């Protein structure tokens, strides 16, 4: 938690652009949810800099459980997204989840071609 609090301004900077398009959340809301354990925050760190932030939370349906990626922001996303998605997928599998959902703009499809677009979500089943 100290890492989140100590890097609050860097995290906010990474999320500002995406949060401008998601009026349901503010940066303070996201940090509160992570601190409470309702969401997970993945920091993309390069040396002493934070290049990106991915925010996830568990979605439980009657017949399946998936990890929802609902926010992703930062710089040079193409440089790090594949590696971090692999890490997030491995973590999700270790938790016994059935897959990953991404709620976002269609630009995600260009970054992650092995995901399918189902309704308004991208889904990858394990």
Q: Which CATH number fits domain 2-125: 3.30.70.100, 3.40.630.30, 3.40.190.10, 3.40.50.720?
A: 3.40.630.30
- The model's pLDDT over 57-75, given as tens digits with 9 standing for 90+, comes to 999 999 999 999 988 889 8
Distance (Å) of CA 122 to CA 8, 66, 90, 93: 29, 12, 18, 17
pLDDT value at residue 20: 85
Cβ neighbors of 82 (< 8 A, separation 6 or more) are 111, 112
- The pTM assigned to this predicted structure is 0.82
Ordered by start, the domain boundaries in the chain are: 2-125
């Amino acid at each position: 938690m100290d890492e989140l609090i100590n890097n609050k301004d860097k995290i906010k900077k990474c999320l500002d652009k995406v949060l401008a398009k998601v009026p349901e959340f503010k940066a303070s809301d996201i940090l509160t949810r992570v601190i409470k354990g309702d969401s997970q925050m993945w920091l993309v760190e390069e040396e002493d800099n934070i290049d990106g932030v991915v925010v996830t939370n568990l979605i439980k349906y009657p017949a399946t459980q998936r990890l929802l990626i609902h926010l992703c922001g930062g710089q040079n996303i193409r440089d790090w997204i594949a590696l971090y998605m692999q890490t997030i997928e491995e973590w999700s599998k270790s938790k016994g989840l059935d897959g990953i959902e991404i709620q976002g703009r269609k630009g995600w499809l260009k970054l992650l071609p092995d995901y399918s677009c189902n309704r308004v979500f991208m889904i990858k089943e394990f």
